[in-house]
């Protein structure tokens, strides 16, 4: 076998990548974590996290990610800011191609996450200030308030129903005259007097000063426009896995999320997928760090058996 640079390389420094790095470094593996931007991932733009164990009073996304980064680095994890351009996984040793060089590793954990699909209606300005892509994460912040929800699939309807546990009013905006969600979810939404479905409509802009104050919508059949006063806006028009560098190197589902088994093993031996980039029923910090612990242990066992 040719000489490798590392036992393990991790792509992505969100909660999953940092956790995998911490476990690998603690196991005295020669490990490198690659992050194209800033360690922390999506939680960096999460204003407040209340459902992560050990922080009963809550913690900001920035503070939690910093604690994770510091803990991992204190255990010996090396983090490098570098963007992965492509992978070569056809041989026993894995090649990771960066802009200026290639890295050879015995095993690989892909923790590159996923990004919400944008509507381009000004939502970027209000992320963490009223705009959210996760009711499970942020619904409690809207107790007794009015919110707008956008989408019509299973996730949108299910999350809109969840929002009614906290919000006093939920406008569900859908561009068609019927929902795409499962019939049982539709029935629950129709029966919920806190949900008002706005049919045949699209959101055209999110307005506010310090935070969300209103959402402009337009009926695509009549072209009628109106403004909905709201304290928040939840967007569920899908998410995209951050896998532009993958180039079919591992098997994915129809949406591009990486397929992995219970040990986080992908279709390529020694390559693992964790967190939001994986085909998974729940995308939360808790599930991401759980995936990562399993993957780090799996990678350790894989290397031992080489």
Residue 97's H or E segment, with its range, is strand 94-97
Q: Catalytic: which of 47, 63, 134, 279?
A: 134
Q: Catalytic: which of 7, 138, 231, 276?
A: 138
Say how far apart CA 273 and CA 263 lie, in whole Å.
Answer: 9
Query: Is 7 a catalytic site residue?
Result: no
Q: Catalytic: which of 7, 137, 233, 291?
A: 137
Do 93 and 105 touch, CB atoms closer than 8 A?
yes
Evaluated on CA atoms 25, 44, 284, 55, the torsion sign reads positive
Tokens of 231: 């304290």
Q: Residues 261, 43, 62, CA angle at the centre, nearest 5°?
A: 140
Do 152 and 176 touch, CB atoms closer than 8 A?
yes
Say how far apart CA 179 and CA 263 lie, in whole Å.
Answer: 36
Evaluated on CA atoms 128, 132, 135, 137, the torsion sign reads negative
Tokens of 128: 């963490």
What count of other Cβ atoms lies within 10 Å of the Cβ of residue 157?
27
Query: Is 137 a catalytic site residue?
Result: yes
Q: What is the dihedral of CA 283, 285, 291, 294, to 10 degrees?
A: -170
What count of other Cβ atoms lies within 10 Å of the Cβ of residue 115?
13
**What is the separation of C-alpha 178 from the centre of its chain, rounded to a whole number of angstroms?**
28
Query: Is 233 a catalytic site residue?
Result: no
Instruction: Return the SS3 of 211.
Output: coil
CB-hemisphere CA count at 13 Å for 208? 23
Say how far apart CA 104 and CA 226 lie, in whole Å.
Answer: 56
Catalytic positions are 134, 137-138
């Amino acid at each position: 076998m040719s000489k490798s640079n590392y036992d393990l390389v991790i792509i992505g420094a969100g909660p999953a990548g940092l956790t995998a790095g911490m476990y690998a470094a603690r196991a005295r593996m020669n490990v490198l974590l690659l992050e194209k931007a800033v360690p922390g991932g999506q939680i960096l733009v999460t204003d407040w996290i209340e459902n992560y164990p050990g922080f009963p009073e809550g913690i900001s996304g920035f503070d939690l990610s910093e604690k994770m980064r510091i803990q991992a680095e204190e255990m010996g994890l090396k983090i490098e800011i570098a963007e992965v351009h492509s992978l070569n996984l056809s041989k026993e040793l894995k090649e990771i191609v960066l802009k200026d060089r290639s890295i050879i590793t015995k095993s690989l954990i892909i923790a590159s996450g996923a990004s919400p699909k944008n509507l381009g209606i000004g939502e970027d300005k209000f992320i963490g200030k009223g705009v959210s892509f996760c009711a499970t994460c942020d619904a409690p912040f809207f107790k007794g308030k009015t919110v707008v929800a956008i989408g019509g699939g299973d996730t949108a309807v299910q999350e809109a129903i969840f929002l009614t546990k906290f919000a006093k009013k939920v406008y569900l905006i859908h561009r068609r005259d019927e929902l795409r969600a499962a019939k049982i979810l539709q029935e629950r939404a129709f029966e919920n007097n806190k949900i008002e479905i706005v049919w045949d409509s699209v959101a055209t802009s999110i307005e506010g000063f310090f935070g969300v104050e209103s959402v402009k919508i337009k009926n695509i059949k009549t072209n009628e426009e109106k403004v909905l006063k709201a304290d928040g806006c939840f967007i569920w028009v899908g998410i995209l896995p951050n896998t532009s560098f993958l180039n079919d190197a591992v098997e994915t589902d129809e949406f591009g999320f990486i397929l992995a088994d219970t040990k986080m093993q992908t279709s390529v031996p020694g390559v693992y997928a964790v967190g939001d980039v994986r085909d998974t029923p729940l995308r939360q910090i808790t599930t991401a760090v759980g995936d990562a612990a399993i993957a780090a242990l799996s990678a350790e066992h894989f290397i031992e058996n080489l």
